[in-house]
Amino acid sequence: MVTVANKAGLEGISAGESAICQIDEEKGGLQYRGYRVEDLAEQASFEEVAYLLLMGELPSHQELQAWKRELDYAGFLPDPIPQVLRLVPATAHLMDTLRTGVSLLGMMDSEANNPSFEANVHKATRLIARLPLILSLACQSKQDKHQPISAGTCAENLLYLLTGTRDKAKAKELEVSLILYAEHEFNASTFAARVTASTWADLYGGVTSAIATLKGPSHGGANEAVAEMLVKIERPEKAKAWVLAALDRKERVMGFGHRVLKLEDPRSVIMKRRAKALSENMGEMRWYEMAEIMDQTMQEEKGLLPNLDFYTAVVYLLLKLPIKTYTPIFVTSRVAGWCAHIIEQQANNRIMRPRATYIGPPTREYLPIQHRSSRGTIGPGISPPDDPVLN
Ligand SMILES: CC(C)(COP(=O)(O)OP(=O)(O)OC[C@H]1O[C@@H](n2cnc3c(N)ncnc32)[C@H](O)[C@@H]1OP(=O)(O)O)[C@@H](O)C(=O)NCCC(=O)NCCS
């Protein structure tokens, strides 16, 4: 057995082959199916990039139009999904609502258990069209209901659904972030999706595993944490002292560091440039100035560079997107990458079943309960629930 126990978090371990995304800091930076993310972010649409991830090639004009029609056609939530989601408590985390929404979509889809390439692409298309609708339904009151813009792009629709704003230039900023969020090799959520898919569980199961995994603050949750931090800091003059105090307390400053990208996150470079230009265009420099000071302080103090989440939070604050939607927005984009990985996994599948290096007690004799002495604790600290619903 090959042992990787000394590699906490499987750092640096290749867990399989993939033709979807290449991260090579020394050679080409970050590429989706051989295309540099810099080129895709500046020149492609999110729809083209999602198509590239799923199908392996950039679409022709005709192919793109046909796929956009499919996305438009799928752009509604079948009954009773809206009715069921309206029963979700208002206090629910939006990521949990998205996860539940995807489960419901799976239950309603007659193709759910068909693992063919064609069926999986159809399901991926429906998810890309419908996740923004689940998100908008989850965060709107009944009075404040937006429908998708007819023939709008994914980014235009998302901006409109979440803020009521119709603005092509602002939608382009959101679109760049969607392109950069769409895929990143064997990150934790994608790996979770592939493990699920490797059992021949259906695509919806893979995506729900992925959403649950992305929620964590060490992964997708970081973009919301960055915005909350910027709001708390309030003014550029306070930014440096805030970072120094956080580091003194040995806290992690959200939006910095990356398991794989140790030199520079090319996505962050792009978002920094976009955040600066957008701040200048809007005449609102406060968030950007604050972020730049924090960035510089983190480099000086820890040698750590910002990741994609850091300057994306500046752009999202400027676009007036509600902070609680940031990680769910990440879902609406990364779903393209997750589905591409599920399709790739099932095209050449073997169930993922690694081994563990056992570090527990050695073999011991079973003692009947009447012969065991008490260790002074009662169970694992279980107390009856307060909530009568749970009783
Ligand atoms: C992304 C992340 C989870 C990578 O973790 P990792 O590869 O396991 O890195 P480690 O946890 O081993 O950190 C290595 C060192 O850098 C420090 N470090 C890493 N990220 C840090 C951060 N954001 N703020 C302060 N210190 C940080 C650690 O404290 C550690 O220092 P030490 O060696 O003195 O103990 C980590 O950098 C992090 O928590 N970042 C903040 C959350 C975030 O932005 N996530 C989005 C990722 S795209």
Contact 337, 190 (CB under 8 A): yes
Hey, whose CA ends up nearest to atom 29 of ligand 1? 252
CA distance 23 to 31: 7
DSSP string over 188-212: HHHHHHHHHHHTT--HHHHHHHHHH
> Is 93 annotated in the active site?
no
**Does 253 sit in the ligand 1 pocket, CB within 6 Å?**
yes
Phi then psi for residue 24, to 5 deg, are -140, 100
How do the domains of the chain map onto residue ranges? 18-218+324-347, 223-318
Predicted confidence at residue 391, as pLDDT, reads 37
Regarding the beta carbon of 307 and ligand 1, being less than 6 Å apart is answered: yes
For residue 36, the surrounding DSSP H or E stretch is: strand 35-36
Q: pLDDT value at position 390?
A: 45
Distances (CA, A) of 233 to 3, 271, 285, 388: 45, 21, 14, 40
Q: Residue 143: its pLDDT value, please?
A: 45
Instruction: Give the residue whose CA is nearest to atom 39 of ligand 1.
Output: 218
The pLDDT score that the predictor gives to residue 4 is 63
Centre of ligand 1 to C-alpha 218, Å, is 8
User: Positive or negative, the Cα torsion across 275, 276, 282, 287?
Assistant: positive
66 three-state secondary structure? helix
Query: Tell me, what's the pLDDT at 377?
Result: 59
Does the Cβ of 299 fall within 6 Å of ligand 1?
no
Nearest atom in ligand 1 to 257's CA: 37
Asked if 285 contacts 250 with a C-beta cutoff of 8 angstroms, the reply is: no
DSSP bridge pairs for 29: 24
pLDDT at 5: 57
> CA 293, CA 298: separation in Å to the nearest integer?
9
Pairing of strands 29-32, 35-36: antiparallel
Point out the ligand 1 atom lying closest to the alpha carbon of residue 226: 44
> Is there a contact between 242 and 236 (Cβ–Cβ < 8 Å)?
no
Residue nearest to atom 2 of ligand 1 (CA): 258
Of 287, 253, 252, 254, the residue nearest 272 (C-alpha)? 287
**Ligand 1 near 222 CB (within 6 A):** yes
pLDDT at 374: 81
- The rounded average pLDDT for each run of 10 residues, N- to C-terminus, in the chain (391 residues) is 74 94 85 97 98 98 97 94 93 96 96 96 98 93 62 92 94 98 97 98 98 93 94 97 97 94 92 98 98 98 96 98 97 98 97 94 96 73 54 37
- pLDDT at site 385: 56
294: Cβ contacts below 8 Å, ≥ 6 apart: 233, 239, 240, 242, 243, 253
CA 11 to ligand 1: nearest atom: 7
From 6, 11, 183, 218, mutation site for ligand 1 pocket: most ligand atoms within 8 A of C-beta:
218
Question: SS3 for 6-26, per residue?
Answer: CCHHHCCCCCCCCCCEEEECC
Q: What is the pLDDT of residue 338?
A: 98
Is it true that the peptide bond before 217 is cis, omega within 30 degrees of 0?
no
Is 39 tagged catalytic?
no
CA of 209 from ligand 1 middle (Å) equals 24
Q: Which residues pair with 22 in a beta bridge?
A: 31
CATH class of the region 18-218+324-347:
mainly alpha
- DSSP β-bridge partners for residue 114: none
Report the pLDDT value the prediction gives residue 144, as an integer from 0 to 100: 56
Considering 109, 202, 295, 309, which one is annotated as catalytic? 309
| Residue 17 dihedral angles phi and psi, to the nearest 5° | -95, 150
- The amino acid at 240: K
- 341 in catalytic set: no
> Which residue puts its alpha carbon closest to atom 16 of ligand 1?
257
253 in Cβ contact with 294 (< 8 Å): yes
Per-residue tokens: 189:
């959520």
Q: How far is the CA of 279 from the centre of ligand 1 (A)?
A: 28
C-beta of 218 in contact with ligand 1 (< 6 A): yes
Contacts of 43 (CB under 8 A, 6+ apart): none
Determine which residue's CA is closest to atom 13 belonging to ligand 1.
257
Q: According to the model, what pLDDT value does residue 6 have? A: 65
Span from the CA of 215 to the centroid of ligand 1 (angstroms): 17
> What sign has the CA pseudo-torsion 76, 77, 80, 86?
negative
Query: Per the residue annotation, which of 109, 258, 295, 341 is the catalytic one?
Result: 258
pLDDT at 323: 97
Ligand 1 center from residue 302 Cα (angstroms): 10
- Ligand 1: residue whose CA is nearest its atom 28: 252
DSSP character string of 257-302: --SS--S--HHHHHHHHHHHHHHHHHT--HHHHHHHHHHHHHHHHH
SS3 state of residue 161:
helix
* CA–centroid distance, residue 187 to ligand 1 (Å): 15
**Fold category of 223-318 in CATH:** Cytochrome p450-Terp; domain 2 (1.10.230)
Query: Which pLDDT value is given to residue 24?
Result: 87
Q: How far is CA 71 from CA 50, 124, 147, 383, in A?
A: 11, 10, 14, 49
